Amino acid sequence: MSALLRLDAFLPYRLSAASNAVSKVIASAYQRRFELSVPEWRLIAVLREIGESTQQNLVQRTLMDKVAVSRAAERLVQRALVSRSEDENDGRARLLSLTRKGLALYDAIAPEARAYEKQLLAALSKEEIAALHAMLVRVQNAATALEQNARERDDEP
Amino acid sequence: MSALLRLDAFLPYRLSAASNAVSKVIASAYQRRFELSVPEWRLIAVLREIGESTQQNLVQRTLMDKVAVSRAAERLVQRALVSRSEDENDGRARLLSLTRKGLALYDAIAPEARAYEKQLLAALSKEEIAALHAMLVRVQNAATALEQNARERDDEP
DNA sequence: GCCATTTAGTTTCTTATGCAACCATCTTCC
DNA sequence: GGAAGATGGTTGCATAAGAAACTAAATGGC
């Protein structure tokens, strides 16, 4: 007989609990101070990083659903934080980029975001932080690989 | 001027990405094989661990919303995986416990859950895994502490 | 013992999320 | 050069999750 499975020592649970706690506090901060949802903030962050970009590109960068990107973009455009223009090379695509106002908002948020992160990681050393990031990436990759397997198994029979 | 904030080196994002990837693959496995949602599975796991329990107690153990617990319990009772009885000492509370059928289902799921976890952690050593768990807990605690602060700041002014 | 407050749990409403279907355009292969 | 399929994006729908209001019972002061 195998030992009991303890939920709070079970990785998927630990991960979800940590992620929930963090995103709850972060999300409510963005909301309260800047009236931004997390998806909206992600678009802003990535647009600041890479400049003009198609939505499809943002989907890959943020791992968000294309619907989520479309809706977040819509709201940001309405608030004039982001401008949307046609892509010369592809009639289907739309190019997003930050407006001056969007840039200003980014400049206001970024330091706060960093401050939050710092507090979250206050108990960890530089090396631990690096290790944590690396492990999260590895676990994430393992998960997507598993999902891939499941999909293939589903497709064949 | 401060350096750019890179989304994919930003802890809340990394955490959420990893957690999403993991819970997606896990959730679809539970769903497909056992017709259980993640909240339902959590209740089963904890009930197996601690035996008979009030819903309130399950809320604390699983960190789920009381509404989520109520709804998951409802479904499990309907499927006769869990039985619900009155609490002698407290007329408001209801005691949940696994039925024979629920226990059998647990016995079927637990090994699979462990196998998934093993694959997710395949790339990590024992020590790394322990470190990962410990760090996730610390980050989670930091987040709930931050949330506490925010609440207090909100209440006073 | 009785009112005020707190707590356990459910119901209801609102919002978020994700999938599927869809339209428009682009690619490619004959 | 014109189908057949693939791709970027939006819309619509169904379900999940969370907050708030509510009921019923318990606790605590007086």
pLDDT in tens, A1-34: 567 999 999 999 999 999 999 999 999 999 999 9
Q: A8: which chain B residues are within 8 Å (Cβ-Cβ)?
A: 61
Do B79 and B156 have their domain in common? no
User: Is residue B140 a part of any domain in this protein?
Assistant: yes
User: Is residue A1 a part of any domain in this protein?
Assistant: no
Burial class (CB in 10 A: 0-12, 13-18, 19+), A71: middle
DSSP reduced 3-state for B98: strand
Bases of chain C with protein Cβ within 7 A: 7-12, 16-20, 24-27
In this complex, which of B23, B110, B143 lies closest to A120 when CB atoms are compared? B143
Q: What is the tens place of the pLDDT at every residue in A67-85? A: 999 999 999 999 999 999 9
Do A113 and A43 have their domain in common? yes
| Interchain CB distance below 8 Å, B18 and A136 | yes
| Interchain CB distance below 8 Å, A136 and B29 | no
pLDDT at B46: 97
User: Is residue B61 a part of any domain in this protein?
Assistant: yes
pLDDT at A152: 67
pLDDT at B100 over 70: yes
Q: What is the tens place of the pLDDT at every residue in B64-85? A: 999 999 999 999 999 999 999 9
B14 DSSP 8-state letter: H
| Interchain CB distance below 8 Å, A147 and B18 | no
Do B132 and B87 have their domain in common? no
Residue A123 main-chain phi, psi, to 5 deg: -80, 0
Do A45 and A100 have their domain in common? yes
Torsional class of B80: left (φ above 0), alpha (ψ -120 to 50), beta (otherwise):
left
Count of domains forming chain A: 2
| Interchain CB distance below 8 Å, A25 and B128 | no
Full domain range(s) for residue A138: 124-152
pLDDT at B154 over 70: no
Question: Would you say the C-beta of B83 is within 7 Å of strand C?
Answer: no
Q: What's chain B's average pLDDT?
A: 92
Terminal C-alpha separation, chain B? 33
* A24 touching chain B per CB within 8 A: yes
C-alpha span between B98 and B42 (Å, rounded): 12
Do A108 and A129 have their domain in common? no
User: Is residue B68 a part of any domain in this protein?
Assistant: yes
pLDDT at A89 over 50: yes
pLDDT at B20: 96
| Interchain CB distance below 8 Å, A142 and B131 | no
C-alpha span between B14 and B29 (Å, rounded): 23
Q: A51: which chain B residues are within 8 Å (Cβ-Cβ)?
A: none
Do A115 and A132 have their domain in common? no
pLDDT at B157: 42
pLDDT at A52 over 70: yes
Q: Which residue shows structure tokens 């195998």?
A: A2
Q: What's chain A's average pLDDT?
A: 93
Cα angle A20, A12, A37; round to 5: 25
Do A42 and A91 have their domain in common? yes
* CATH for A72: 1.10.10.10
pLDDT at B147: 86
* A130 touching chain B per CB within 8 A: no
Do A46 and A104 have their domain in common? yes
User: Is residue A20 a part of any domain in this protein?
Assistant: no
More confident residue, B155 or B52: B52
Do B118 and B131 have their domain in common? no
| Interchain CB distance below 8 Å, B113 and A10 | yes
Q: A4: which chain B residues are within 8 Å (Cβ-Cβ)?
A: 48-49
DSSP reduced 3-state for B87: coil
User: Is residue B50 a part of any domain in this protein?
Assistant: yes
Min mean pLDDT across A55-69, A142-156, B88-102, B122-136 is at A142-156
Average pLDDT over residues B142-154: 80
Do B19 and B80 have their domain in common? yes
User: Is residue A12 a part of any domain in this protein?
Assistant: no
> Percent of chain A beyond pLDDT 70?
94
The residue among B39, B42, B20 whose CA lies nearest residue B110 is B42
DSSP reduced 3-state for A81: coil
User: Is residue B89 a part of any domain in this protein?
Assistant: yes
The residue among B12, B71, B73, B57 whose CA lies nearest residue A20 is B12
pLDDT at A157: 42
pLDDT at A153: 65
How far B93 CA lies from chain A's nearest CA (Å)? 23
Average pLDDT over residues A98-110: 96
Do A36 and A109 have their domain in common? yes
C-alpha span between A75 and A62 (Å, rounded): 17
Do A115 and A130 have their domain in common? no
Looking across all nucleic acid strands, the nucleotide with the smallest C1' to CA distance from residue A20 is: D17
> Percent of chain B beyond pLDDT 70?
94
Bridge partners, residue A94, by sequence: A86
Interface of A with B in 46-105 (CB under 8 A): 46, 48-49, 61-63
Question: Would you say the C-beta of B29 is within 7 Å of strand C?
Answer: no
